[in-house]
Every structure is written in C-alpha cells, then in structure tokens.
Amino acid sequence: MSEHWLKEWGQGKPPSKWVIDIIDDTLSRLEGMTKEDETAIAELNKEITEKFLKKVLPTSVKNYYTYLHKAVRIHFKDKLTSVNSIKHPTKGIFEHFACTLIDTPNDIKAMNLGLQREALDWKQHNVATLEEPELIVNRGRELLESAIASYEKKGFASYADLGAALALLVGLRPGEILRDAVLEASSPYTVILSQGQAKTRGKKRAYEMPTLIEADTVLKGYNILRNTFKADLLNDLELESYKNNIRFQVEVNFREIVPTLSRLNEETTVNPQRLRAVYDAIAVFYYCPPQVKDFAFIKVINGHDPTPGKADAAMHYLDYQIGNGAIVRARGQRQGIKLGQPGVKIIDGIADKLEKTDGQSPVKEENTNELINNSPALMRFLKKEDQPTTPEAVPLDITPEVLGLSPEWVTRLEAVMKKTGQTDFKAMVCELVKQEIKFREGIRNRHQEKDFQSMPLSKLKRVRHPDAAAEKLRRAFLAIKYHNSNVATERSQRWYINPTSIHKLVGGRFSTITPWCEAHFDEINSHNQTYELTEGDNRKSVDINEMVEVPEYPID
C-alpha cells in the first residue's frame, strides 16, 4: 500500500519508515469506516496520537498528522463517496473525513498555542541590535564577490560560500538558494522571486524583494551557483547535507559580526534562519518608507499573503533591530535611508499600497524620481533626501531627537550636562566630534614610525593601525604555511589557507583580511595547490588554533 501513495508524494521531505508504518495501518483501518463511525474514529485518533507521542514531543505531533493527511488525500483521491467524505470547514471542498476528524487533539493544540504565545511574547521583548549593519552587508558582499572572482579566474566557486552570501543579501532559505527559487532581474536593487518560495501551502505567487547590494551582483552569484551546482533532481533528504554546508559557512563567516539571541530553546548560533531576520532588519533600514510599519514591509518582502491587522506572521523575523549607533550615523533616520539614491525604488508591493492611500493610480515607473513626482506623500518625505547635501540642508539645531537618541540616553546625557555645567547641546556635540577626530588621527600617527615586523604578536594585536593589521595577517599565513610544510605529515593534518583560517588564528575584520588575501592570492594559491588543499580540508573536529600556533615573534 505504501508504494502507491509514496509514489505520488511529490515535493517535500517524505516521512520516515516508522511514520510510513503508522500511516499504512491507518489507511487500512480507514477503508471500512464511514463518517458516521464516531466512536471508532475517536478511538483511532487516540491510538494514532499515542503512537506519535512514543516517538516525538507533543510540540511536533501536528507535523506527523500533516504527513497522515497528505497520504489520506493521495490514497482516497479516487475513492471518495458520500459516506466517507465531508466538506472541509474552511477550504469549502469535499475530502475524506480523516483529514478533518482525525487530527491533533485539542489539548495538545491548546498547549502548543500557549507555547507559541509565550515564544511570541519573548520575541517582542528580547531582540538583538545591529550596531554596524554596513559591516554585515560588506561581509556578505566580500563573500559573494570572492566566490564570483574565484569562478571567473578558476572556473570554480564554492556553492556554500555563494549560498551563505545569498542567505544574507537576498534573504533566501538554503533550499530556495540551492534548488527551488527562480530569481529574475527587476531593478538595480530589487529582484523578482517568480517561483520556488518555501512554505507557500501550495500557492504560487511571484513578488519583488530588495537586495542589500546591487541586484546584478546578486543575480551573477545566483546564476553561477545554479550553473555549477545541479540540484534539480535532488529530493529534500538528499539536499539536506548541502544545506548543512551552507549553515556551516553562515556560522563561520557571520558569527563574529552578527549578535546571537539566547533563544527559548537555548539556540545561540547564527544560522540561515537568523540571517533572514538580519536581512529583514537591514532591508527595513535601507528601503522601507517611514510611514510604513516595519512588520508590514517585512511581510511583503517575504511574500506573505496580506492579512490586514495581523502582524504575527512577520514577528518571526523581528528578532533584530537597528542599533542607535547606526541610526545616529543616519542622522536619526530609522527607515528608508537609501530611498532617493540613484537606482533605488520602493518595491511594488509597498508602492501600490502607498499610491492607493494617497488616492493616486498605481505607479508602474521604476525610476525613483518618477515615483516621487507621482506620489505626493512620498515626495513630502523624500524631497530632502533627493537633494545634494549642503551646509544649508543640515538642521541648524542639533538636538538629541535629531540624532535619534533613545529616552534612556537623553536622560543620561542631561545628567552629564548638568554635572559639567554644559547648557549648549550643539557645542557639546561639536566638541565631542573634534575629540573623536583627534583620537582617530592620534591612533594613525602614534605608530607611524614603528617597526611592526619586529613587534611581538601580543602587542601587535592591540595596535589599531593598517600596517599592524597587515603584519598580523602575514604572520598567520606564514604560521599555517610552516605547519603544513614542516609539522603535518599527512593531508588530514594540513589546513587550507583562506580568510576564515587566518581569521581564526589572529582575529580581525574580514573587510581587512579578504583584501589582504586577494593581494597575496598567487602565494596563497600556490601553497594550497602544492598540497592539493581545498576548503573541505578545514572541516576537522578541532579548530585550527589547536594545531597551528602563531609565534610571538616572527620567524622569517
């Protein structure tokens, strides 16, 4: 019996063997039942629940009833009669009674609903802040452009690197990136997801979504991935190991710069699901008009069906918010900081709603200036951003509100000003800015005449100077090279040299490490090729710093 319904299972991960056995037994018992057999149906439902609970937690039982319902629909699709079918209460179609009458028990549903509400309340009161969104975006750009450059130079690019970058820059799930999503060009900073969105419940829809960097670069990386990684014939189970490699690269590349949340289930790692939430937060910061609620914008860019007045569907993605430091740098602007810049447009799903609100006809133009001219509400907001920045355009009165300081920081500021006798907020800010400039100039000039090549590593790590950073990276490279050539006796003990392995040894920002590695590509590549090393050689049970030691003083 199982061969029949499994053969028509279609997309989606098939059930495990123990689930198949339960489903086969259930289908056999349903053959002789009618919708009037209330006692037998209730008893069967109780037995099925007990079988599921022996294998999984109550929070997962509903997933296995979903498997059962799908099998019932396949098995009975040509066997529906007036005595075994009922009208679905919400879908309005006739289907086998088991799809409605045999389901997750109400007490388990109530418990799960309580847990969901608890989790939702926790999320609303526990968020992480992104103080440097540009740093995160630049890391995604570096990862993507490095993979593209590798493909153009060597004809090969890591699908895991491409996938990790796309998870951030366009907010896709690993399965969508590797196999399902079909992306099409739309505008300089948007793409169309024409098909392949996960969790659509059978509905097909295309929608426009923003990209955190130039859309043509995102599409270039996406096309390289699809041309070099053929996943069309892989089912969900076969695809899982490749998804895991993307998850690994997400953690390796973003764990140092993306804050983690201590979840209700103790999750603390940065993974693609968290990266989708990071994408949403930065997309709001970049492209969401200030008169649009963040959760409404997030629902649109994630392709959720519009549900007026309901924000729950988007709350899953509100784990992150932009920090005050980034808002201050954006002159107090919390949303839409890139609107009005060349090539940037408001995505169609939002522009249409704004036009209807303004009483205007839908706008079809993709040019931002044309959109502004046809939308009075947007023009009122964007006209300042569309003008060149001049001294006259800067507000004369610098206030805490203009800088976007939170009430807590305003209170602390007032206390400091009162204690120091300062009454002119603008003068105080200007003095602090001057001090910061002098401080940064001092950092650069303080070490100008120093010999970093002879400086001990422990001191080198504390020096904030470009030349000190370069020397630190050079020593890490030489340490790995020495280990591979003089310490390791077999391939399993050697390490592939790339920005990640260097970062693990001496730290630093990838925005500094990646350009250094590119500048020394020939030397690094020559060493890797000598021992036929690839990224896979770095997937060991121990970290590189447990095997490779960067000496305190240079050995060359």
Express each pLDDT in 423-469 by its tens digit.
777 777 777 777 767 656 655 555 555 777 788 888 878 777 788 88
Q: How far is CA 347 from the centre of its chain?
A: 19
What pLDDT does 367 receive?
A: 43
Query: Which of 118-122, 274-278, 321-325, 367-371 has the largest mean confidence?
Result: 274-278
Is residue 538 within 8 A of residue 544, CB to CB? The reply is yes
Between 186 and 369, the higher pLDDT residue: 186
Mean pLDDT, residues 86-108 taken together = 88
Measured between alpha carbons, how far is residue 73 from residues 6, 7, 186 in Å?
A: 12, 13, 39
- Four-residue CA torsion sign, 370, 373, 376, 378: positive
Question: Which of these, 194, 242, 212, lies nearest to 144 by C-alpha position?
Answer: 212
What pLDDT does 195 receive?
A: 78
Is residue 54 within 8 A of residue 48, CB to CB? The reply is no
pLDDT classification of 396: cutoffs 50, 70, 90: very low
What pLDDT does 279 receive?
A: 95
Mean pLDDT, residues 164-179 taken together = 93
* Residue 323 CB coordination number (10 Å): 15
Enter the DSSP assignment of 508: -
Can you tell me the distance from the alpha carbon of 21 to that of 19, in angstroms, rounded to the nearest whole number? 5
What pLDDT does 190 receive?
A: 94
Mean pLDDT, residues 192-203 taken together = 67
Measured between alpha carbons, how far is residue 48 from residues 53, 69, 196 in Å?
A: 9, 12, 33
Residue 386 scores a pLDDT above 60: no
| pTM score | 0.52
Pairing of strands 128-130, 320-322: parallel
Can you tell me the distance from the alpha carbon of 135 to that of 287, in angstroms, rounded to the nearest whole number? 17
Half-sphere exposure of 400 toward its Cβ, with a 13 Å CA cutoff?
12
Mean pLDDT of the chain: 81
What pLDDT does 449 receive?
A: 58
Can you tell me the distance from the alpha carbon of 37 to that of 45, in angstroms, rounded to the nearest whole number? 12
Q: Read off the pLDDT of residues 310-319 as tens digits, 9 standing for 90 and up.
A: 444 455 557 7
pLDDT over 70, % of the chain: 80
* Residue 436 CB coordination number (10 Å): 10
Residue 118 scores a pLDDT above 90: no
Can you tell me the distance from the alpha carbon of 518 to that of 540, in angstroms, rounded to the nearest whole number? 25
Enter the DSSP assignment of 92: -
Between 88 and 473, the higher pLDDT residue: 473
What pLDDT does 442 receive?
A: 58
Residue showing tokens 């019932």: 72
When mean pLDDT is compared across 51-55, 162-166, 232-236, 408-412, the lowest value belongs to 408-412
